[in-house]
Amino acid sequence: MKREVVTCVKCLMDSTDPDIHFNSGGICNYCLEAEETLPKYRYTDEQIGANIGRLLQHIKANRKGKYDCLIGISGGVDSSYVAHLAYKWKLTPLVVHFDNGWNSELAVSNINKILDKTGFDLQTYVIDWEEFKDLQRSFIKASVVDIEMLTDHAIVASMYRLAKENNIKCILSGTNYATEHGLPSAWVWQKVDLKNIQHIHKLFGRQPLKTFPTIGIYKSFLYKILHKLDFLEPLNIINYKKLEAMEVLEKEYGWRYYGGKHYESWFTKFYQAYILPQKFNIDKRKSHLSALIRNEEITLEQAREELAKPLYTVEDLTQEKEFILKKLEFTPEEFEEIMQAAPKRHDEYETSIHLRKKLSSLKEKFNF
């Protein structure tokens, strides 16, 4: 029997998320939680000034080498805006771009425009495509939901490495509560779960991992404690609004929007607009748009209109699917078979998540 889908009265989240629950007024837990948390991220102008002052002071005090801080840039809104802030605040960051072989033209031209104007130094981490392809194939074959954790994992690992190499103590991250809160935990997996990556690849991969940058749980703890690496989140201290940020970037840099959260990568677009909805019945736009509703950037009506738009036009899908399958070396039949296979949970494979929980509780206990 098919259960009816229940949707929150204030946002787009619905009961296709297995963990959602509603109060008696039909409001979902994400809205309720945001109602409590968002005010903590809202500041007066004076407070923002003080926040920025403290942040810059901290960055300057921790500068050891040539650079104040490290900024990872993808060409998307959040990371581009962090680079813009660094420019406005007259910081000297090392900008790092992670190239996993799926960059769109828009992504690289956005990064170029920002670097042209700011004059910041760029370093790229180019992943070995043959190896990364094999890894992505493994995850697709494993039928687990978070294929993108591979890129996220490698980004974090390479950022740690580059920060250490360049003697940088502060990493400015684009992570922010305002536009990213309320992502259902069933839609993603822990990025740091190296054991999960390794086991899945052992089962489905064709070649061993040699150059893929990894960071295990112990190593990440060590980095944070021994090298005193700080992840700073400037977007969390300035009343961040995505639409305003886009306007600034367009006006000041000639930056261009790419039509969807994380669509700066060909694969991410295909993953979010095809694999997730088709195989996992997940439409990430629901969560992204709902966050913007709660951040008072768009109305529920506008969000509904946006959600009603097709994820792909038929023509785009045909073309992009062909390109992506060719790049990943899947035949259409092979890929179709995988799409039909039942989704699997990440913890049906080996995982280090339990260890992580233990370490976290240890961390709390000893307060480091």
Partner 1 sequence: MLKARVIPCLLLKGGGGLVKTKKFGSPTYIGDPINAVKIYNEKEVDELMFLDITASKEQRGPNFSFLKDIATECFIPLCYGGGITKTDEIRKLLRIGIEKVSLNSVNFTNPGLISEAVKLFGSSTIVGSMDVKMNLFRKLRVFNSKTRDTTKLDPIEYALSLESRGAGEILLNAVDRDGMLAGYDYELIKKITDAVKVPVIACGGASKLEDIERVVKYSGASAAAAGSLFVYQGGNKGVLINYPNYQQLEEILN
One residue of 74, 79, 103, 143 binding partner 1 per CB under 8 A: 103
Stretch of 9-17, 19-27, 104-112, 234-242 contacting partner 1, by CB under 8 A: 104-112
Query: In this chain, which stretch among 12-20, 117-125, 184-192, 200-208 interacts with partner 1, using CB under 8 A?
Result: 117-125
Distance between CA atoms of 133 and 140, rounded to whole angstroms? 11
* DSSP-assigned letter for residue 124: E
CA distance 335 to 274: 12
- Nearest approach in angstroms of CB 96 to partner 1 is 8
Closest to 89 in 3D by CA, of 132, 111, 58: 58
How far apart (Å, rounded) are the C-alpha atoms in residues 333 and 366? 53
* Residue pair 83/120 in contact by the 8 Å Cβ criterion: yes
- 108 sits near partner 1 (criterion: CB under 8 A): yes
CB of 326 to partner 1, least distance (A): 6
Residue 70 backbone phi and psi in degrees, to 5: -115, 135
Q: Are strands 170-172 and 69-72 parallel, antiparallel or unpaired?
A: parallel
Tell me the closest approach of the beta carbon of residue 152 to partner 1, in angstroms. Answer: 19
- Shorter beta-carbon distance to partner 1: residue 99 or 233: 99
Task: Determine which residue in the list 10, 97, 137, 181 makes contact with partner 1, applying CB under 8 A.
Answer: 97
Told to check if 233 binds partner 1 by CB under 8 A, we report no
112 binds partner 1 (CB under 8 A): yes
Answer yes or no whether residue 137 interacts with partner 1 by CB under 8 A: no
Indicate whether 128 belongs to the interface with partner 1 (CB under 8 A). yes
**Using CB under 8 A as the criterion, what x/- string covers residues 321-360 for binding partner 1?**
--x--xx---------------------------------
- In the complex with partner 1, the residue whose CB is nearer, 49 or 332, is 332
Output phi, psi for 26, to 5 deg: 80, 15
Distance between terminal CA atoms of the chain?
A: 50
Q: Rounded distance, CA 173 to CA 265, Å?
A: 19
Q: Is 101 in the site for partner 1 (CB under 8 A)?
A: yes
**Min CB(173)–partner 1 separation in Å:** 19
Task: Please say which residue, 31 or 73, places its beta carbon nearer to partner 1.
Answer: 73
**145 burial via Cβ count (<10 Å: 0-12, 13-18, 19+):** buried
CB 101 within 8 A of CB 155: no
Given the rule CB under 8 A, which residues bind partner 1? 95, 97, 99, 101-105, 108-109, 111-112, 115, 121-124, 126, 128-130, 266, 323, 326-327
